[in-house]
Amino acid sequence: MSGGGRGPERAVPPSARNSETPGETSTVRIALPEHLRTLAQVDRELELDVHGPVTVMAVLDVLEREHPVLRGTILQHDTRRRRPFVRFFAVGRDLSHAPLEAELPEAVVSGLEPLVVIGAIAGG
């Protein structure tokens, strides 16, 4: 694991920020729960370069491509739908039931706020 626990997992080139135009790249921050960070061998939030419209699906496609060990942990292998008990949040809003192809808020697209993935806790 990389050390320190501060800041994103890699530096952000200024030219990669704040782009929503199809064919261009946005650098998106994603915060994963502890067990997925351990599996991916990272110890803090990640920054991913997403090409074209920035959607939950686009972000997760890049995440799974860069960290293949995470395939099937957030989205189901066969249906590519959100796994039960996994939730998505951005700018204080629960996006878990929004379409995976819906564009994310500007604060996420611009890298100001992360897309947060949370493993929900069930019990009684």
Note the pLDDT tens digit of each residue in 38-88. Answer: 999 998 999 999 999 999 999 999 999 999 999 999 999 899 999 989 999
pLDDT given at position 15: 36
Contact 115, 84 (CB under 8 A): no
In this predicted structure, the answer to whether residue 13 has a pLDDT above a threshold of 70 is no
Question: What's the mean per-residue pLDDT of the chain?
Answer: 85
Sheet architecture: strand order including 86-90? 46-51, 25-31, 115-119, 86-90, 93-94
79 domain residue, yes or no: yes
Burial readout 35-68 (b: 16 or more C-beta within 10 A, e: otherwise): ebbeebebebbbbbebeebbbbbbbbbbbbeebe
13 domain residue, yes or no: no
97 domain residue, yes or no: yes
93 domain residue, yes or no: yes
pTM for the predicted model, two decimal places = 0.80
Contact 116, 33 (CB under 8 A): no
Number of residues that make up the chain: 124
Residue 101: domain span: 21-119
CATH code at position 88: 3.10.20.30
Confidence of residue 124 (pLDDT cuts 50, 70, 90): low
pLDDT given at position 121: 74
Report d(CA 100, CA 56) in Å as an integer.
5
Report d(CA 12, CA 17) in Å as an integer.
8
The number of distinct structural domains making up the chain is: 1
